Amino acid sequence: MPLVIAGPLLRHTHQNGFVLWLVTRERTAINVTLNGESTPTQSHAIQAGEHAFVTLLEVSVEDGLEEATRYHYGLEFNNDALNSEWRNECEELLFAQQQSLSFVWQSTLTNVLHGSCRKPHHHETDALIRVHDLIQSEFDGNAQRPDMLLLTGDQVYSDDVAGPMLMAIQQVITELGLFGEALEGAVVSHSDELPDHDLNFYRRDDLLPKIAMNTALSKLFFGAKKKPVFTSVNAKNHLITFAEIFAMYLLVWSPVMWRRVTIRSNQIQEAFRAQFDQEQQVLNGFIETLPQIRRAMAHIPVYMIFDDHDVTDDWNLTRGWEEEVYGHPLSRRMVGNALMGYWLCQGWGNQPDKFRTISEQAVNVFTSTGLQQHDDFINTLFDFSEWHYTLETSPPVYVMDTRTQRWRSESSLNKPSGLMDWEMLCEFQQALIGKEAVIVVSAAPIYGVKAIEAIQKVFTFFGKALTVDAENWMAHKGTANVILNIFRHYRTPPEFIILSGDVHYSFVYDVRLRFQRNSPHITQFTCSGIKNAFPDGLLSWLERINRWLYGHKSPLNIFTRRRNMSVRSRPPAGLHGKTLLNQSAIGQLVLHENDTTVVCKALCSNGDTVEFPPRKED
């Protein structure tokens, strides 16, 4: 078993230090060196299994980091044997001709990468490979290393899992001795029973809790049958336990455990074997690039925020969804387990100071004998309201939590909740006041494709918001009015950049206020997905409909919530007549000092770079 199973990932990086996240096979003291010298390091270790220890290292730099300077860092373990192991393992993480891991800190942002939606078994190539190539270019002297990588949601798909991935997950659980758990309200009473159960592969939707469909409309169209609490259409292999969630993270961020599993389709029921084999072919391509992905994430500050698939599809979409899911012991546990995984593997590293109380409680939950006080810890995470965060850069970056602080509909159980409630929007506005410029990260676009939003609105009218994932900023009147009024406020930053994802296609909008002399410059750059895409034919039709009905000069815009705003698309270069790009990509935001023009590029997984140039009139 290798010493380091995943990581190190470079996380929150600031003038006074930086954070590293890694998983080791044993509990061990770890020190960090910076440019060859030992550096004060605060270490936090969480035991997730017999041979799985998550370690967060907070490194303090007494004299402070200098901008645009390459720093070399290393890990030192508490004995010679472990250090020798790590030296051998670390070779795989080094770029060509490099002798150590490194990073560059920038407080003034000029080159920011962002992306979302990385589904391992989607046929597109993993666009994170472009991050690796950019860093290699910096070592080759051909380009500047990007300042940071913002992962804006759906870093994992807990609800949409390939059969071979689930098989690997369960072998990792056994190999690492990841902690099991008792399950209430399920067909099985303990997680240990899942691997041998007939419903384990491609039939987990029959394990999930079900509710009676008791609305008049549901009875009219579907009869009185029961439906699963979870609404994901791909829930056949939905992850259930914390161990499964944690193993998934190890398999999407590191190649190490893939080398220790054996995938055999003969263990799968005949009816699902062809699908299993097809998924395995796609996964093989994903696995091949993992060494480069792991290497890249050790060399660039990485920040993350959840979206629904990090937990489950349609997470907190409606008040009715919340009442059903949180009211059943198994579905409540499943959501809680996914949120535990998010905190441990994503959220904690964003800004560890925000999670002191949670990390202190976690020591009593993740014990050497297994998970203790499991439900109490989940309740703590459900009550936590500080998942959002701000980076004190120039311009500052405000990362929204659009999942857990929702503006619930009071008129209907089935109407979509607002993505943020009034209190959180007020806090957001206060954070912006007086700033000259700001970068805002919203998992979903604030300004969406109107034709698609109109279709979602029709389904919502008939009580079917869950059918079309009616999740956009304009779907809830209160949230829509407040967020749009923030842009109209006279103290709103004059330069306003929105980075978003979620939708599985990419586009850029320039927004100006109508009838206002000093309108802020608002640029929204939506880039999605890293390894996902929209059905191509369907997107082409929706794009045409949107152009016909909601073009810049269309009178129908009068009937939308953004009637007082001019929303202009930036057509992607080289794609005549198109406004939407349907390729897996990483977004690259380039900023120039004293220039209000925002450069937006999609770094596509196939090697193409597509720029969205501003219109001349803008």
Rounded Cα–Cα distance for residues 118 and 156 (Å): 7
pLDDT digits (tens, 9 = 90+) for 198-211: 999 999 888 877 76
**Residue 233 scores a pLDDT above 70:** no
- The encoded tokens of residue 152 equal 């804006």
Check residue 553 and give its pLDDT.
66
Name every residue whose Cβ is closer than 8 Å to that of residue 201 and which is 6 or more positions away in sequence. Answer: 163, 166, 167, 237, 268, 269, 272, 276
Question: What SS3 class is residue 610?
Answer: strand
Enter the pTM of the model: 0.94
In terms of Cβ atoms closer than 10 Å to its own Cβ (0-12, 13-18, 19+), residue 155 is: buried
Question: What SS3 class is residue 108?
Answer: strand
Strands (E), 474-584: 495-500, 507-513, 521-526, 565-569
Question: What SS3 class is residue 341?
Answer: helix
Bridge-partner residues for 569, per DSSP?
Answer: 509
Lowest mean pLDDT among 38-42, 124-128, 358-362, 532-536: 532-536
Check residue 467 and give its pLDDT.
42
With contact defined as beta carbons under 8 Å apart, do 532 and 430 qualify? Answer: no
pLDDT digits (tens, 9 = 90+) for 319-341: 988 998 898 899 999 999 999 99
Check residue 457 and give its pLDDT.
57
pLDDT digits (tens, 9 = 90+) for 161-180: 999 999 999 999 999 999 99
Question: What SS3 class is residue 148?
Answer: strand
pLDDT digits (tens, 9 = 90+) for 555-567: 565 656 666 778 8
With contact defined as beta carbons under 8 Å apart, do 596 and 519 qualify? Answer: no
**Residue 364 scores a pLDDT above 80:** yes
